[in-house]
Amino acid sequence: MNILEANKIYKSYGNKLNKQEVLKAVDIQVEKGEFVGIMGASGSGKTTLLNVLSSIDKVTQGSIKIEGQEFTKMKDKKLAEFRKHHLGFIFQDYNLLDTLTVKENIMLPLTIKKVPKKQAQSMFASVAKELGIYEVKDKYPNEISGGQKQRTSAARAFIHEPSIIFADEPTGALDSKSASDLLNKLSDLNEKREATIVMVTHDPLAASYCSRVIFIKDGQIYTQLNKGDETRQAFFNDIIKTQGVLGGVQYEH
């Protein structure tokens, strides 16, 4: 069953005299429980694609459905309501509120949804323990490490059990150990909770945790790789080879 269906997505900036087409007729389907990576060279359109798929930016043309609901033409109020129930976000720079504790940051989506207090506490304990941050629940963002901040951000994305979670370079600001910790946790949550994740990354190591990787070049889908029964190391090697063919993307970690 497809959670996300995007058909003939176009995105351009500027006017007729100075128009820049960033996405050109992109089609994407994501099934429930998939962990999908999006990769491409700088300027390929991968971040723009994530932004339109996640409703952060509007398409110029095309249709995007999540759980069968077409959201590209929704008015602001209805779109806000849609996001509240269906979408989770993990950003590279954490986007935590400094004046709230770890627990308060994580529970924000439940507060917005007016989930009963007892149920909210139980949901918090479950996700915070799974992500290994329950012990720091009463600390503030400036009192915890970058890895803990990103796991807090991930917990906030998962806690209200959205239809789909969008992650934008979630390991970009982390050292290699914190990045591996986060990716292992995301992979566990993907399997245990059947959470659907779409992640933009430049890092082939991060992409190797995905079940499928889509490569974007010049605003179009260039190719995609399915992990299937491959080991993560073999999939990593396939990703590196594809990047080499694609050109313009070097392995950096």
Give the residue-averaged pLDDT of 103-114. Answer: 93
CA distance 51 to 69: 17
| pTM listed for this prediction | 0.92
Q: Which has more pLDDT, 226 or 112?
A: 226
pLDDT, residue 129, reads 95
Give per-residue pLDDT as tens, 5-35: 999 999 999 887 888 999 999 999 999 999 9
Superfamily for the 33-58+74-247 domain: P-loop containing nucleotide triphosphate hydrolases (3.40.50.300)
Whether the per-residue pLDDT at 1 is higher than 70: the answer is yes
pLDDT at 79: 94
C-alpha–C-alpha distance, residues 253 and 251, integer Å: 7
pLDDT band at 252 (very low <50, low <70, confident <90, very high): very low
127 pLDDT more than 50: yes
24-56 in b/e form (b: 16+ CB < 10 A) is eebebebeeebbbbbbbbeebbbbbbbbbbbbe
Share of the chain above pLDDT 70, in %: 98
When pLDDT is averaged across residues 213-226 and rounded to a whole number, the result is 96
Local confidence band at 71 (pLDDT 50, 70, 90 cut-offs): very high
Residue 178 makes CB contacts below 8 A (sequence gap 6+) with 145, 146, 147, 150, 171
Task: Confirm if 170 and 178 have CB atoms less than 8 A apart.
Answer: no
Three-state SS at 36: strand
Q: Looking at residue 138, what is its pLDDT?
A: 97
Half-sphere exposure of 37 (CA within 13 A, CB side): 30
- By the 10 Å C-beta count (0-12 exposed, 13-18 middle, 19+ buried), 121 is classed as middle
* Number of alpha helices (DSSP H) and beta strands (DSSP E) in the chain: 8, 10
Average pLDDT over residues 232-241: 96
Identify the pLDDT of residue 166.
97
β-sheet bridge partners, residue 20: 13
Tell whether the torsion through CA atoms of 221, 13, 199 and 88 is positive or negative.
Answer: negative
- CA dist 220 and 216 (Å) reads 6
- Residue 92 burial by CB count (10 A; 0-12/13-18/19+): exposed, middle or buried? middle
Task: Give me the helix-helix angle, 146-158 and 176-192, nearest 10°.
Answer: 20
User: Domain extents for the chain?
Assistant: 33-58+74-247
* Phi, psi (rounded to 5 degrees) for 208: -70, -15
